[in-house]
């Protein structure tokens, strides 16, 4: 009987502790908001506009602001292209594990993109492509052992990348290729760094299937 009471108390205590922690976390955060300006910055970073709107943040952000404008001219999808290509190459070599880690890398790269560097008129389109791409990258990462599924996600990523290239151009010369069979015969696009056809959707089963549709010269 003593055990019973003790256990109930223990369980209740555990819950109270958890909920109290949450409350105090919230408190901490809100006190950071008002008192500690530099802390507040790191907290609100993923949340774009907050930093600009926050009162009293004048010293450090000025420095950041200049770098942002410098980057605006230079905004490039090159890191995304690089990660896409290594993902694509992993699937060319039928390597689901390498594809998974390439997917993880791509996700990290997409999460690191400095959104402030993207020209305002392209911001919305970029966000839609990136949000969708993140999900595909995540799924590729989670699907070791199901290479077919990883390839389905690559096909949608390819379409996203196509739109990204149209929006922002590419610094690296790329070949836009078409695989007529994938996606139930509806076909799928992929990009490669070389002209030689190496099909990522079927790998060794149909390595040379597909054709170059377009050469996109890097600028």
Partner 1 sequence: MGLAVILIGIQFFQPLRNQSDEVPATHIEKVYSVPQNVNAILAQSCYDCHSNNTSYPWYSRIQPGAWYLAEHIKKGKEELNFSEFGEYSARKQRSKLRAMSGQIKDGEMPLSSYTLIHRNAILSEEDKQILMKWFGAMEDSIK
Candidate segments 42-50, 115-123, 145-153, 199-207, binder of partner 1 by CB under 8 A:
145-153
User: From the list 115, 156, 207, 209, which residue makes contact with partner 1 (rule: CB under 8 A)?
Assistant: 156
For residue 162, the minimal CB distance to partner 1 (Å) is 12
What DSSP state is assigned to residue 46? G
Instruction: Note whether 88 and 137 are within 8 A (CB).
Output: no
To which H or E segment does residue 129 belong?
Answer: helix 120-142
Applying CB under 8 A, does 185 fall inside the site for partner 1?
A: no
* Among residues 128, 166, 196, 213, the one that binds partner 1 under rule CB under 8 A: 128
Listing from the earlier edge strand, what are the strands of the sheet with 188-192?
188-192, 174-179, 211-216
- Quick check: 158 binds partner 1 (CB under 8 A)? no
Work out whether 160 is an interface residue with partner 1 (CB under 8 A).
yes
CB atoms closer than 10 angstroms to residue 177: 22
CB atoms within 10 A of CB 72: 14
CA-closest candidate to residue 192, choices 147, 166, 219, 154 = 154
Considering the complex, what minimum distance in angstroms separates the CB of residue 187 from partner 1?
13
Query: Which is closer to partner 1, CB of 122 or CB of 149?
Result: 149
Site membership for partner 1, residue 136 (CB under 8 A) = yes
Pick the closest to residue 75 from 111, 126, 109, 119 (CA basis): 119
Which of residues 43 and 156 has its CB atom nearest to partner 1 in the complex?
A: 156
d(CA 62, CA 73): 18
Contact window for partner 1 (CB under 8 A) among 7-15, 33-41, 83-91, 108-116: 7-15
96 binds partner 1 (CB under 8 A): no
Q: Residue numbers of the site for partner 1 (CB under 8 A)?
A: 3-4, 7-8, 11-12, 15, 128-129, 131-132, 135-136, 148-149, 152, 156, 160, 183
């Amino acid at each position: 009987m003593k055990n019973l009471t003790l256990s109930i108390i223990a369980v209740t205590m555990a819950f109270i502790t958890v909920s109290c922690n949450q409350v105090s976390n919230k408190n901490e955060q809100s006190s950071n908001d008002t008192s500690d300006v530099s802390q507040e910055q790191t907290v609100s970073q993923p949340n774009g506009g907050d930093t600009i709107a926050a009162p009293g943040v004048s010293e450090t952000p000025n420095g950041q602001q200049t770098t942002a404008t410098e980057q605006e001219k230079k905004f490039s999808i090159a890191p995304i292209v690089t990660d896409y290509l290594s993902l694509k190459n992993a699937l060319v070599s039928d390597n689901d594990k390498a594809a998974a880690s390439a997917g993880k890398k791509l996700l990290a790269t997409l999460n690191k993109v400095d959104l402030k560097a993207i020209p305002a008129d392209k911001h919305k389109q970029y966000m839609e492509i990136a949000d969708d791409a993140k999900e595909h990258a995540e799924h590729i990462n989670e699907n070791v052992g199901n290479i077919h599924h990883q390839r389905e996600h690559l096909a949608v990523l390819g379409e996203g990348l196509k739109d990204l290239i149209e929006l922002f151009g590419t610094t690296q010369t790329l070949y836009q290729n078409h695989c007529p069979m994938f996606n139930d015969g509806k076909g799928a696009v992929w990009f490669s760094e070389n002209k030689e056809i190496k099909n990522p959707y079927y790998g060794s089963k149909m390595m040379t299937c597909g054709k170059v549709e377009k050469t996109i010269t890097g600028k």
